[in-house]
Amino acid sequence: MVLRAAGRRGAAPPAEDTSPLRILQLYPKADYFTGAAIQLRDLAIGLAARGHAVTVATPPSEIWADRMRAAGIGYAPIPMQRAWDVRAAWRIAKVIRAGDIQVTHAHKGRARTLALLAGLMGARPRLVLNRGVSFHVPRARRIGYTSRRVHAIVAVCDSIKRDLVATGVPAEKIEVIYSGTDVERFHPGLDGQAIRRELGLTAEHFLVTQIGVRSWRGWRDVLDAMAHIAPAAPRARLLFVGAPAPRIAELGDHARERGLDGRVLVLGHREDVPQILTASDVVVDASYAGAGLTGSIREALACERPVVATDLAGMAELVIDGETGLLVPPRDPAALGGALLRVLENPTWAQTMARAGRKRVDAHFSLRAKLDATEALYRRLVVTKAA
């Protein structure tokens, strides 16, 4: 009788369940300021702000403990030195049982393996994996994605989803949820003048910025591109941000080898990245491997700064060439340099693209959009289990 009544014309649909979810975010690294860590902490804090009971588990870390405590989020310090760490898996299982966790979201491969091991110990909430890189999945690791114990995979772009499907992962198991930018933190109203003064730059200087200097981020190609355009752009300066101490000296050596002495600036870890982006005339990412959607490009567009990026993985889903930014082939410094010159020589056109990029980020790549999609996925998995 209840089913017939629900189906009658005019009958009210079942009320949507809005009860708080019990969620474990599992991250096997102690870093706090990398792109993956930022995405996880923004997700955890955003879900907690929506009323959900969130616990974050990482290897012991004072900064994670302090920041999660300040946000009212449960924190579980668990050493996770190896993927097949039975003691770590047992501790994870204990957290799951103690919190009556409904959804475990595992970030990175080690967390995936440990969550699966915890399942063998009887702790079996709905398991979600995060896939944010475009590296090839080796055959030996595919079972970690195709296993029936994995209930959903979050791919951060369509390109990564296609790659997973090509390796044999069922398409219906994969949910594309773009990484999110906090558009209230990254926005065009920020003042970058203090950064330019710190760097010794005037209004006449053209500042090219790359955030992150891991090898596959293509920093050598950016240096080559700058050397390519140096004769035509004497006021251009290149800034690298986020370099560890040993890499700072290395970048200086490479700059001098290319005749760029005095034109390349290097900063270590900074927490004022929004202001740094706003201070930049163009933000570049020359990744040639691994990337899904580079966070600094997404954040630069949120700040309405022009961008140039390599056409890799899902970048074309964010940067529409000639509309929200410029795309160039990976490992092509000449093309990269040419794109930088186009931005330098056409500032009004470049700013028009940047404004369009801000609108695209706000609509599809904001933290709000990510939270909406992730919360909906978790609820769907919990409802399916209950059924």
| pTM: predicted TM-score of the whole model, two decimal places | 0.88
Place of tokens 């039975």: 86
pLDDT at residue 143, rounded to an integer? 79
What are the chain's domains? 20-180+367-386 (3.40.50.2000), 193-364 (3.40.50.2000)
Rounded to whole angstroms, the Cα distance separating 117 from 83 reads 9
Q: Which residues of the chain have pLDDT under 70?
A: 1-16, 140, 386-387
Q: Tell me the CA distances in angstroms from 288 to 173, 291, 313, 329, one per residue in order.
A: 28, 8, 9, 9
Closest CA to 184 of 300, 318, 303: 303
Rounded to whole angstroms, the Cα distance separating 298 from 365 reads 8
Structure tokens given for 142? 């595919």
Which residues lie across from 53 on neighbouring strands? 22
pLDDT at residue 310, rounded to an integer? 96
pLDDT at residue 303, rounded to an integer? 98
SS (H, E, C) the chain: CHHHHHHCCCCCCCCCCCCCCEEEEECCCCCCCCHHHHHHHHHHHHHHHCCCEEEEEECCCHHHHHHHHHCCCEEEECCCCCCCCHHHHHHHHHHHHHCCCCEEEEECHHHHHHHHHHHHCCCCCEEEEEECCCCCCCHHHCHHHHCCCCCEEEECCHHHHHHHHHCCCCHHHEEECCCCECCCCCCCCCCCHHHHHHCCCCCCCEEEEEECCCHHHCHHHHHHHHHHHCCCCCCEEEEEECCCHHHHHHHHHHHHHCCCCCCEEEECCCCCHHHHHHHCCEEEECCCCCCCCCHHHHHHHHCCCCEEEECCCCHHHHCCECCCEEEECCCCHHHHHHHHHHHHHCHHHHHHHHHHHHHHHHHHCEHHHHHHHHHHHHHHHHHHHHC
pLDDT at residue 189, rounded to an integer? 96
pLDDT at residue 144, rounded to an integer? 80
Q: At what angle do helices 86-98 and 109-120 cross, to 10 degrees?
A: 70
pLDDT at residue 188, rounded to an integer? 96
Contact 368, 351 (CB under 8 A): no
pLDDT in tens, 176-201: 999 999 999 999 999 999 999 999 99
Structure tokens given for 368? 């709000």
